[in-house]
A and B are shown apart, each in its own frame.
Chain A
Amino acid sequence: MTKYIVRRLLQMIPVIIGSTFLIFAMVFALPGNPLAGKCGERPCPPAFVEKFRADHNLDDPLPIRYVKYLGDLAHGNFGTTFQGLNVLDELQKRYLITVKLAVIALLFEAIIGVLAGVLAGIRKGKFIDNLVLVSTLVVISIPTFVIGSLAQTIFGVKLGWFPVTTPSKPGWYDLLLPGLVLGSLSLAYAARLTRTNLAENLRADYVRTAVAKGLSRPRVIGVHTLRNSLIPVVTFLGADFGGLLGGAIITERIFNIRGVGGYIFQSINSRDGTAVVGAVTMLVIVYLFMNLLVDILYGVLDPRISHD
């Protein structure tokens, strides 16, 4: 197991280098002048331009700039934005919000989604099953921005249960409604995945054995059937969480949340390469770690998977 983890960690290095280089190359190949609008209506004075270009290594060829960047990165220095802000500070602030939002969405998906899926799965073809199928279909077919705007209008504006926009340092409650909106689509998928797997596993031979062992129905379902049925659901939720940690541009915009998604969006718009590359690099690393975590979890849940 330790060997497996070490191997996976080593495999991450080329992936991180490769993906950051791609991002780096793409971002700096974008047309547009980072100095545009920096000095009001007038063009910037030549001395300022020179210093700015030197500070950001803008005149070096791309590979050199990349190597310099990696060197900084290795020292934990994510660089400074064109506005002179420390990328790492900014990311940390933003990231805390994104993580909170992702955690709310994940809990919502895992608890409500799995619960709905289990109820539907053990009562396949009955009322509750149809209810779950229809309601998840509705959620799947409506775009997130519609759900988000609707939720904001109804629960925020009309009923006043939740704040309509989000303060710059939001607490858990401020992020609750956006989190629910963000998790709704994956919740629908998680519910359906749970339902299908559970209904299928209920017909498995080992479940018949569990009944023949004289176990109670709650035990047959809760212990013997659910364990196997939830393996793919856990994998799905893990991968989904990895995605959620990458920020949620639409939800962040609707609720005016200062998360990572919006940060990257803004940085791309303002041609702020250092910020984009820093943020994306971090997201790549987070995503890789999430994947590793999911794979380890998979091995723990399913003893047939061997990591040796």
Chain B
Amino acid sequence: MATATAPTAHTSEYQPQDGLLLEVEDLHVEFHTRYGVAKAINGVNFSVRQGECLAILGESGSGKSVTAQAIMGILDMPPAKIPQGSVKYCGHDLLTMPEDRRRKTRGPEISMIFQDALSSLNPTFPVGWQIAEMFREHRGMNKSDAYAQAVRLMERVSIPAAKQRVKAYPHQFSGGMRQRIMIAMAISLDPAVLIADEPTTALDVTVQAQIMSLLQELQQERHMGLILITHDLGVVADVADRIAVMYAGRIVEQADVRDIYAKPAHPYTKGLLDSIPRLDLKGQELSAIGGLPPNLMHIPPGCAFNPRCTMAQDICRRDRPELVEVGPHRKAACHFSEEVLNA
């Protein structure tokens, strides 16, 4: 296909060591509001390698988007504050980097797509203009070259009649097409890391699958590190390599996809897995997790999940379980993960 673009060699000052792109260490984020301090992220650790897809799962409010925004550097500070932690990209800490230098990583190095493409695209500029802006601002490209690049990218993400539609406005596209345009814009400068925050949640089911396969295709073609945020376990099964499950601003379990689906090591993960409808268990009750996520201003002591956990013991209300190795390539934060694994 003439429109396919070979990934251009990365000739930036950022070179991954052994394929390691992103390392998030002990990340904390809190929101200072007039009602108090909401501790949205409480010590998150993970890494992303070239060509790898990490899915971040969790209920609403577990801190998935805030984690992504902290990596991307698009949190509103204030009210947000990052009291602790680091986000290293190819060994450079983004959090301590001068803002002007960090800004230049957004787009060419790390890029992001959002849930609602309609509100995330500027309603007053043509879509082609918005894609071309990446080339004009980051590469200093002239207008017609940048537009040509925009058309090429729109073709790459399979927008029909891209040449004619390059001057159309976001509201003139369908939801799926808009998300494709968001994707085209995000991958325009060949970023090494792409963060997709619930990219299909706002779309029809049939369109969801198309967008997911487009993302997967682009990730493999460009060897990108992909962070896929979702609260839909079904979506990630065939896309993700690894899964990190978040609860109350912490990662409670991290493992390869196959391992986690075969056997969760954390009661919360088990609860999530049990709540997806399965064809082979048709007719049986879905077991949603009882109770509500904790108030982030008053996270319970010990294990944050203990008020909802059927296995909770005294120790769970007293000591916070750390995220520890529970098997090859897998970690869990539960005092009784052995028991969960062997159940």
Chain B: how many interface residues by the 8 Å CB criterion?
Answer: 29
Q: Within 8 Å CB of B124, what residues of A?
A: 227-228, 301-303
Q: For the A-B complex with A206-B120, A303-B123 known, give 5 more contacts whose Cβ atoms are closer than 8 Å.
A: A206-B123, A212-B112, A227-B125, A302-B124, A303-B124
User: Which chain A residue has the least Cβ–Cβ distance from B100?
Assistant: A216
Q: Is B119 located at the chain interface by the 8 A CB criterion?
A: yes
Residues of B participating in the A interface, judged by any CB pair closer than 8 Å: 72-74, 76, 103-108, 111-112, 114, 116, 119-126, 133-134, 137-138, 169, 171, 185
A206 in contact with B121 (CB, 8 Å): yes
* Interface magnitude class on chain A: 20 to 34
B-facing residues in A209-231 (Cβ within 8 Å) = 209-216, 219, 224, 227-228
How far is A209 from B123 in the complex, measured between Cα atoms in Å?
Answer: 12
Contact of B107 among A205, A213, A301, A304 (CB under 8 A): A213
Name A residues whose Cβ lies closer than 8 Å to a Cβ of B.
Answer: 203-206, 208-216, 219, 224, 227-228, 301-304
Measured CB to CB, the closest approach of chain A to B71, in angstroms, equals 11
Expressed in whole angstroms, the Cα–Cα distance for A302 and B171 within the complex equals 11
Q: Supply 26 A–B pairs (Cβ within 8 Å), ascending by A.
A: A205-B116, A205-B119, A206-B122, A208-B114, A209-B114, A209-B120, A209-B121, A209-B122, A211-B74, A212-B74, A212-B106, A212-B111, A212-B112, A213-B107, A213-B137, A214-B104, A214-B105, A214-B138, A215-B103, A224-B122, A303-B123, A303-B124, A303-B169, A304-B123, A304-B169, A304-B171
The 5 lowest CB-CB distance pairs between A and B, nearest first, are A214-B106, A214-B107, A205-B119, A206-B122, A303-B169
The A-B contact count (CB < 8 A) is 65
Q: Is B133's CB under 8 angstroms from A213's CB?
A: yes
Query: Main SS of the interface on chain B?
Result: loop
Distance from B76 Cβ to chain A, minimum over Cβ atoms (Å): 8
Given A211-B106, A213-B133; A206-B74 close (CB under 8 Å): no
| Minimum C-beta distance from A161 to chain B (A) | 41
- Which residues does chain A contribute within 8 Å of B125, judged by CB atoms? 227
Q: Which residues of A contact B122 (CB under 8 A)?
A: 206, 209-210, 224, 227-228
State the Cβ distance, A4 to closest chain B Cβ, in Å: 18
Q: How far is it, in angstroms, between the C-alpha of A205 and the C-alpha of B169 when the chains are bound?
A: 16
Q: How far is the CB of B10 from chain A (nearest CB, A)?
A: 16
> B106 to A205, Cβ gap below 8 A?
no
Specify which chain A residues have a CB less than 8 angstroms from the CB of B106 in the assembled complex: 211-214
Q: Please, how many angstroms separate the alpha-carbon atoms of A205 and B74 in the complex?
A: 11
Nearest residue, chain B, Cβ from A207: B122
